[in-house]
Amino acid sequence: MRNPICQILPDDVFNTLLELGLINTKTLRDFEIKRSYKSLRCQGLKSAEAIDALLRQYPYLQYDTVRKIIYSIRLPEELPMNGAA
């Protein structure tokens, strides 16, 4: 698995934590879904079209589940930095 949180965790530390079972892979999947959604929207797809594209990538998820992920998950790059003014 590639490191989807490289902005906050170096690859070597991520891989060690993953090997030890200390990483929640479901949450990482959700990060990837949200990033993919944002990318699809930037490419000009409407929201429903982007969700449909994601459902083709993740056929085991339901429409409402993908909607919940894209509207409730906050990516590390969306969080305010500590100490920032």
Tell me the DSSP string of 30-70. Answer: HHHHHHHHHHHHHTT--HHHHHHHHHHH-TTS-HHHHHHHH
pLDDT at 71 over 60: yes
Domain boundaries, the chain: 24-75
Model confidence at 82, pLDDT cuts 50, 70, 90, reads: low
pLDDT digits (tens, 9 = 90+) for 1-50: 888 888 788 999 999 999 999 999 998 899 999 999 999 999 999 999 99
| Average pLDDT in the chain | 90
pTM of the model: 0.78
